[in-house]
Amino acid sequence: MPYPEEELVSILKNGGVDFTSSLPCEKIKFLLELLPESFFHVPLTREEEGVGISAGAALAGKRPAMFVQSSGIGNMVNALLSLTAFYTLPLSIFISHRGIHKEKIAAQVPMGYRLAGVLKGAGISYSMIRKQEDFGMIKKVLNRMYKKNMIHAFLMSPALWKTADPDRQMSEVRVRTRQHLMKKTEPSSKQTRSSLSLLSRFEILQTMAPFITSKAVICNLGWPAKELFYVKHQPSNFYMLGSMGMASPIGLGISLTSTKEVLVIDGDGSLLMNPGILATAAHYAPSNLTILAIDNSSYGSTGDQPTLTGSCVDLEAVARGFGIRNTVKVSNKRQITYAMKKSHPELRFIHALARAGNEDVPNITLDYLKNKKQFQRFLKNESS
């Protein structure tokens, strides 16, 4: 009988899985080492980020699978419900079910014992995989869940891997690495917001609108999405309605699985919630991805409460610190126009300083599932 890790990888291949992501767990370390050899694989900085990246891949027609441990589900529930389930996107989640079998870390026990209840309460279907013979259940579920655009979790007991030889040596993980040295990060501008005459987010969107035609645009939730819908609706726009912090992960997932030029319109509050996505984006550095961070130092959709970019955080410096080489800070129409028109041979981060405030525009009238279908049709038409 093959090692359980090898059998599971074979089942995933036969089930059509073609995009994977993971965070480490010691119990499944051999399995995780096999994934990059068999699939396009993304190492994550946080589980929630993986939900967004997987959603982008699913929008582009891929069959994504995530590999996490029990505790990671706690970081994923909102994104799973308000993004993956809300937009009826498929995702298989393989969970190293900690806390239930010879667990040596006491902190793993509470989530491990309550995990099935958490999934049940969230309305997420799941299967218990306790022994290698249970892998047949995975075969039955995979094809059905991808065809029906479902989320399904496989709770894999640590007892599964007990037959593996502890001295077994797996091949070194083959992941994409940088083949060039990072440019030294330049110090951020000393210019303060108070010394600039800043545009509103709405005015920034108006300025950039002529340059986003036929681009795959992922727009941050709340007022930014409403303003973009008013300024320039097009079938290639995907409007976030929930899942704060997921705009850039979705954009990265699409850029890794599509030839389309991808523009993410993100915000300071959302990026501060999930900054690790900048590291993951820098690692892959897709040349077809631009992240536009409209930074108004405010949680604009919840009452303009201040964010820390108004006191101590420079998002451009953060992006460069995470390894994004091509960055620029803009604050007026001329600079925005130049940045949007300029070609870029690599991943790009545009830090657009803005003043706080929302434009009084109507709500989005487009049904969210119709929006998803229009967007998927655009992505599928790779020739346009």
Name 227's bridge partners: none
Residue spans of beta strands (DSSP E) within the chain:
19-22, 40-43, 64-69, 91-96, 125-129, 151-156, 216-219, 237-239, 262-267, 289-295, 298-299, 305-306, 326-330, 348-353
Model pTM score: 0.84
Write out the residue limits of the CATH 3.40.50.970 domain(s) in the chain: 4-161, 194-380
> 119 with 95: CB under 8 angstroms?
no
Please provide the average confidence, as pLDDT, over all residues in the chain. 89
Which pairing describes strands 64-69 and 216-219: parallel, antiparallel, or unpaired? unpaired
- Tokens 């028109």 correspond to 341
pLDDT > 90 in the chain, percent:
75
Phi, psi of 199, deg, nearest 5 = -80, 160
> What number is the average pLDDT over the span 363-381?
96
61: left (phi over 0), alpha (psi -120 to 50) or beta: left
- Predicted confidence (pLDDT) per residue in 172-206, tens digit: 433 332 232 223 334 344 455 655 779 999 999 99
Q: What is the pLDDT of residues 221-273, one digit of tens each?
A: 999 999 999 999 999 999 999 888 999 999 999 999 999 999 999 999 999 99
DSSP letter, residue 335? H
C-alpha span between 359 and 364 (Å, rounded): 13
> Residue 218's beta-bridge partner residues?
238, 264
**Which residues have CB under 8 Å from 147's CB, separation 6+?**
none
Distance CA 124, CA 143 (A): 17
Q: Are 204 and 332 in contact (CB under 8 A)?
A: no
CA gap 230, 134 in Å, rounded: 51
* pLDDT class of 105 with cuts at 50, 70, 90: confident
Query: Can you tell me the distance from the alpha carbon of 20 to that of 5, in angstroms, rounded to the nearest whole number?
Result: 15
Fold of 194-380: Rossmann fold (3.40.50)
Architecture in CATH of 4-161 = 3-Layer(aba) Sandwich (3.40)
Q: What is the DSSP pairing of strand 91-96 with strand 262-267? A: unpaired
Report how far residue 159's alpha carbon sits from residue 316's, in angstroms, rounded to the nearest whole number: 46
- Of 188, 245, 242, give the one whose Cα is nearest residue 45: 245
Residue 169: CB partners within 8 Å, gap ≥ 6?
none
pLDDT digits (tens, 9 = 90+) for 264-315: 999 999 999 999 999 999 999 999 999 999 999 998 887 788 899 998 999 9
Of residues 138 and 183, more confidence is placed in 138
CA–CA separation, 32 and 21 (whole Å):
9
Q: Which two tokens stand for residue 176?
A: 């994409």
Q: Give the Å distances, CA to CA, from 170 to 27, 31, 164, 229, 320.
A: 14, 9, 11, 50, 34
pLDDT in tens, 141-177: 998 999 999 999 999 999 998 644 544 544 443 333 2
Residues in Cβ contact with 69 at an 8 Å cutoff, skipping those fewer than 6 apart:
23, 25, 27, 28, 95, 96, 98, 108
Between residues 106 and 238, which one has the greater pLDDT? Answer: 238
> Average of pLDDT values for 37-52?
94
Please report the pLDDT score of residue 383 as a whole number.
46
